Each structure stands twice: as structure tokens, then as C-alpha cells.
Amino acid sequence: MAKYVYDFSEGDKDQKALLGGKGANLAEMTNLGLPVPPGFTITTEACREFLADEAEPAELHVQVTMALRQLEDSVGRRLGDLHEPLLVSVRSGARYSMPGMMDTVLNIGLNDASVKGLVKESGDERFAWDSYRRLLQMFGKTVLEIPGEVFSDALDEAKRKRNATSDLSLDVEDLKALVRTFKREIREHSGAEFPQHPREQLDLAIRAVFHSWNTERARLYRRRERIPQELGTAVNVCTMVFGNLGETSGTGVAFTRDPASGKIGAYGDYLSNAQGEDVVAGIRNTLSLDDLAQLDPPSHRELTKVMRRLETHYRDLCDVEFTIERGKLWMLQTRVGKRTAGAAFRIAAQLVDEQLITLDEALERVSGGQLAQLMFPQFDSGAARDLLTTGMAASPGAAVGRAVFDSSTAGEWAARGERVVLVRRETNPDDLEGMIAAEGILTARGGKTSHAAVVARGMGKTCVCGAEALEVDAIAKKAWVGGRAINEGDVISLDGSTGEIFAGELAVVPSPVEVYIEQGLNVAVQQVDEETAELVRAVDRLLSHADARRRLAVRSNADTAEDAARARKLGAEGIGLCRTEHMFLGDRRSLIEHVIVATDAAERQAALVALLPLQRQDFIELLDAMDGLPVTIRLLDPPLHEFLPDRTDLSVKVALAKERGETGPELDADVKVLAAVERLHESNPMLGLRGVRLGLLIPGLFALQIRAIVEAACSQLKQGKDPRVEIMVPLVGSVMELHLVRDEAQAIIAEVTAEQGVAMDVPIGTMIELPRAALTAHRIADAADFFSFGTNDLTQTTWGFSRDDVEAAVFAVYLAKGVFTISPFETIDADGVGRLVEIAVKEGRQTRPGLKMGVCGEHGGDPESIHFFHKVGLDYVSCSPFRVPVARLEAGRAAVAH
């Protein structure tokens, strides 16, 4: 018989796939002897079976009964007992952390009878009725799917009658009245009475948690975080401990280090006389752990010891949820904590210094995506500022956008290209769509462990929480700070590093990490405070270690000397792709136009001769900027119509001129160009006359470029420089195409080097960007000195996609329906496109062992794709200059991981 239920004493932290993250870590803390309330976990397997069949596995009810009776025996109380009732919580717990996305129900086991038993046992009538009120509210919203506003509005009305701002001001009679109101609302909205039988409550709550795996907000979060949709969630049934038993009780969330900055020292939020959901929901602004030390020194000391033990055990930043019940500390959850990009680098370096982890392990604790975040600009401290107020710096960054006050508006405005900042009193899981769409998130309530803060840090979004001076009216779509109004559409700026909120748009400047990468460590640390300097030094340390560990070289895609120089500053070890077509734009368009429209060989040759010195100078400058490093120059690739006027516009222009009876050289030139446009018109130009086909069908075009390249390299050699140029032929599908271009190129190279009196080896290779090229790589390798995978076109031709068309029309639906978890143009499609790459690598090197191979598509700067390219054995990746540091870090991480 399948085992679906595990006692907390049976599991460990390595069973996250079966017990979920929460269940596995509760088991780990139990095994460590920490104060964990007894309980049991229902496995993810049970959830998957339930979701597949819409019914629990037959054995599950029996196994839950057995586990529940064991729990009752261990604590000496029974679920729903009239005198000493056992109450339990039912919480979700997926394999991967999904903060706030799934459901929780507290105080299961209370009913009209057992609430009286809880009064006697606790000696606190208000506490008992408050607990019953909370059960009804959570059960109604979570299990019965009644809108949460039904209950929160009733609670607000009760406080209004009391002229109170906090639910703590409600007395016993107020809470009894609320219980009656909540029960009535449940009856009216669900058509049935609130279930009085404790086991029915438990079974329905378990079902609700299973169902919460497939809520739209949970699916949206998983799509964003690329968590598989089929994993399911575990369910944790845990003995209730109460933080709402008066001033000697409370609840909190804490981190072993500051998750926003990485600063050493425990950090967290605490609420006296509250239950756990109150902290995360941000409905009241919290106290700090220092405040807890003043209120309850023994509990604070024990919590500090537990947190140190957990951090040592997990060897990482941990976050914990805890409750203090009348002076007794209980640990309700731990996990390796989410952190900001800056905190990730600082903490990794700190743990190396503390000898808890190695440098290799530290490299695995950071990511290229986090490094990219740290390179984003920040607000200019010297610019004029209009400070509105200051809140808690929950997630760093500089966010500018128009204020919006609900999730749907944020999504709509962002979809039309507006930058928005989501402003809320506090966020809840239903706000996820707007949080994803927004540049930044601002809340009036909550602390660094509130829902808004935790989710924002996980997504790398700027967030300021707990801005107490901010009054938010979501219905009116307006907020106030003192006497100043923030209306929907007003531009505001958030500084997630300081918590400051400004009116209007602030100017930005390069971040300290960008300054370090471009100008060096000494320059960067001289301009910042010590905390920021520690971050910059941590980045330097880990990036340097990545450089030492990586096997993959990192080149840059660059078309100008300026781009090449910047890429070299950022650590590029050469150019993996120079697109020569970019050199024919602007005022040179007319010259290439003359090549295209030429009607005879002499006219075409004259046009090519005019282009030669310009191309040669381009290549001289490029080779000079990358002297001593390889420079791969791709011969002309795009369809020639891209250099000509629009067919329709030109046809109209010519027709109108003829209708008006115009004559003269301008019209003659237009007629000639129009004839060329008509001759070259293609229904699908991206699969037509482009790439190697241009070189074979337009005499002299590739010869011009090859001559310019070789003459530029010879010029550099004569000046004592070290040019390392490589010629790349695009869109090859047959080895014969490459042989034909190679023969022409070698003849030109021999001619030019003889003329110049120099000896030079110029490798000639090809892009692998067609499926046929990949599948015949064993033959193409005969004629190639290197392969460079053009994964943009290889993805298009493998999937049959026209990227410009499908990204807008198809991808949103495909991502929503789970066809993709991410665009195949962002991260390599390992199963399809990646399989072609693997075949080409393997079979190309069977023909020519040691054949140099790289990638020059956009995937060359994508962190996940870089790991794939390392694994299949490429020699280098090439990416845009800005992503070079990201690629360096990820290449090092790939070497450590594989």
C-alpha cells in the first residue's frame, strides 16, 4: 500500500520532492530536537493523485486517521474535544518555495461547543472567540471560496463601531458578534452551515490546499519562476500553538541575516498577541527582533540560539517562522531564505570568510541574473529630489513609473508599454499579476517579511513597504502623504535601497558594480560607503573565481570599435560575431544600393571599389580595439531588400511622378531602383536570397568583404599589431556552398598577403543555423576551421517560427497554456534545438578532432543556456557587451556544477 502520510519525525530536509519544502524542513527541525509542534505531512503524491482523479486516494483517509490518533495520543488531547480541544493548522508546502501563493487554514477543530472548552483551558475568553473568528474567516475564504472582502469588511465595520484601528481593541462581545456575522455570511454565500464536525473541517481544508495548487495566481507564479506545473503540493497538519494568547505571546518571521542587504545579524518582524498570518499579511506594522529582546528576553535568547544552529546546519541564510505561546518558543517553519541580488553576493562571501562554505559553493549561491540586476543603474544622489516619505527598504533597485492602485490596471498599462508602480495598502497573493507587471511595489503596511517584500525579493523587483505616512484608497485610486495627493497616473520614483519615495522621475547613474566592472575595483570602492564597498568586493571575488574556474571563453558580439572597446573592458576575450551588414547603414546605404541595382559587371565593380576603403577602415578599427584577441567577422547575411526602399512606397512614388508627367535623373534613378526591388522581391525573404546565397549569386560581394578584411589585418601586422581575424560564412546548408566560398576566400587571402609581403593564417568557418547544417556537420567540418552556432536562426528554422510574428501573436498563449515555460529565443530549447547542437558538435569533431566551436546567438548571454553549452563541449560563448560579465560568472558556475 502506498504511504501518503509521514509523521514529522519520519522525514528529513532531503525529501522535498515527497514532503514539500515545508514538510521536509519541519521534519529536519524535529530531528534536530528543536521545539516543533507535533504533526504530520500528506505527500505531494497524494496531491497529484487527487488532482488527476478529483478524489483522494482510497487509503488516504485511513492514513490521516492513524496519523491524527497518534498526534492526539502524543499531546494528550483530541481534535474538537469539548474540554481540552486539540486544534490544528492545515498548510500547503510545495517542493519549491511559493510564498503566499497557496492556502492555509488555522484553528481547525473549533466549533460552537469546543470554543467553550478552549475558554476553560486557556482561561482567556477573548482569545478563544478570536480564534474561532479567525477559523471562520479563513475557512470561508480558503475552503468555501467566499470573497475575502465579505469578512474583512465585516471586521472593519466592527472596528468602526468601536472607533478602533486594530482588531486588538475588539472585546469578547464584539468577537462573538463577529462569529455570528461570519456564520451568517457563510450560510448565505455557500448555501450551507459552517461544518461543526472537526474531522469534516480537516478533510475539507486538506482538499482546499490540494485545489490551491491549481489556482490562477499559483499557476502564474510557477510560470514566472519556471516551476513545473505537475509537481503538486504537500499538506502539513500541525498542532496549533497560539501567539494570540495575550502580551506574553506573539508571532514572527525572522532571517539569520538581512535578506535585503546581506548585513550580518538576525533580522525579522514580530507582532505581540497575533497569529502567524498577521505578520505575512502586513495588516499591522511590526516590531523588530530588538523590540522582542526588550519584551521577552528569554524567548529572544532561545530564538537567537535556534537561528544560529539552523544557519550552521544549512550553511546558508535561513528564514524562520515562529510563535511564542505564553513565553514558550515554537518553530513553525524554516527554509533557505530568498534574498536580493546584493545580499546573495555579500552572504556568499561572508560564509566563505566564516569557513562555512568553499569558494566553489559560494559561486553556486549566486547567479548571472543577480549580477545583471546589480549592474542596473541607480538614482543619481546629486539630482534634485522631491521626497514624499520613507518606508522600509524591502528590495533594492531604482523604480520609476506611473502610480496604479490595483493589479489589473498595472497589467493593462504595462501591456501597452507604460512603466507602472503598484501602490497598495498591503499586497496579497491575488496581486501577483500586477506585481509582475510593475517596475516597483509600494505598500503602506507590512515589513521586510510581508507578502510584498518576500515576493518582490524573489522576483528581483524594487519594493518599499510599511510607508506609514502613506494613506491608500484603492477604490478612489488615490493616495495621500500628509496633504499631498498621489493620483492614478502620477509618476513616482522608489529607491528600494533606502526606502525613499519621490514625486516625479529621478535621473539615474551607473551602479557601483557597473563602475567596478568597467573601471576596476579601486575606482569603484572609493566612491561608495563601506556597506556598498563590501558588496563590490564580494562581486569581484566571486567573478574572479568564476574566471579561474571556467572552461568556456567569453566573447562579445560587436560591430563597431566602440562596442569592441567596451566589451573588452567588461572582460570579453574576443569578438564572436561582427555583423558586417550594420556597416552599410546610414550614409553608406546608397553605396550598397548601387551594388544591388547595377545592370552590368562594370557598374557593379565600380560600386564595390567605392565600398572597399570604407570596409577596410571599419575592420582596421575593430581589429585595433581587439588587438591580440580573436575577431570573427560574418560576411553579409540579411536579404538585400533590407538595403532598398520599401516596395510599396517606391511604387507609389514612381506612379505619382509618371502621372504628373515628371521626367529627369531622379525619376530615372527611382525607376531603376524599383526594378531591382521588384526583381529581388521575395514572399519569405528570411528563407530566400541571403547569407551564403548572396555570395554565390552576386559576383564580387563577398570578395569585396574578404579583401577588406585581409587588407585590414595586413595593415595591422605591418604596424606590429597582433590581428587574429576569422571569416565566417552565414546560412550554410551544404558543404559545397562552403567549399565554393572558401576557395574564393583562400585565393584572395593568398593574393593580398603576397601583395603586402606578409604571412598570415585566416581561419574560415561557418555558422550552423539551419537544421540541415547541424545534421550534416560531419561533412561541413571538412571545409570549416570552426563552427559558430547561430541559435537565433536555428531556433526559427527548427520550430518553423518567424520570430517577429510569433512573439507577439503566439507566445503569450503558448506560455499560458504551458507549451513553453520560457521563450525558446531566450533560453535554448535543449530537447529540440539543443539536440541539433549536440549532434553537430559530436559529428563535426568526429570528422575534425579539436574543431573550435562557439555560439553567437542571443542564447550566448543566457545563464541557463550557458550551462547547456558548457555541457555539450563548446569552446566559447558570445553575447552582447553588457552581458559579458553575466556570461563569465555563469561559465564559472557551469564548470563547478558539471
Which of 86, 80, 94 lies closest to 19, judged by CA? Answer: 94
Q: What is the dihedral of CA 498, 499, 500, 503, to 10 degrees?
A: 140
Q: Helix 198-212 to helix 60-75 angle, to the nearest 10 degrees?
A: 120
Contact 578, 556 (CB under 8 A): no
For every residue of 589-649, which 3-state class applies, written as one string? HHHHHHHHHCCCHHHHHHHHHHHHHHHHHHHHHHHHHCCCCEEEEECCCCCHHHHCCCHHH
Cell of 35: 521545539
Q: Are 858 and 879 in contact (CB under 8 A)?
A: yes
Residue 513 and residue 500: Cα distance in Å, rounded?
21
- The SS3 assignment for 862 reads coil
The answer to whether 438 and 418 have CB atoms below 8 angstroms apart is no
Sign (positive or negative) of CA dihedral 572, 575, 581, 583: positive
Give the C-alpha separation, 299 to 319, whole Å. 17
**Can you tell me the distance from the alpha carbon of 462 to that of 340, in angstroms, rounded to the nearest whole number?**
10
Residues belonging to the active site: 451, 856
CA 221 to chain CA centroid, nearest Å? 11
SS (H, E, C) 816-844: HCCCCCCCCCCCCCCCCHHHHHHHHHHHH
Residue 541's beta-bridge partner residues? none
Cα radius of gyration (the chain):
33
Q: Is 766 helix (H, G, I), strand (E, B) or coil?
A: strand
Q: Which helix (H) or strand (E) segment is 579 a member of? A: strand 575-579
Comparing C-alpha atoms, which of 468, 497, 539 is closest to residue 399? 497
Strands across the sheet containing 250-257: 287-288, 264-272, 250-257, 318-325, 328-336
Give CA–CA dist 500/493, Å, rounded: 8
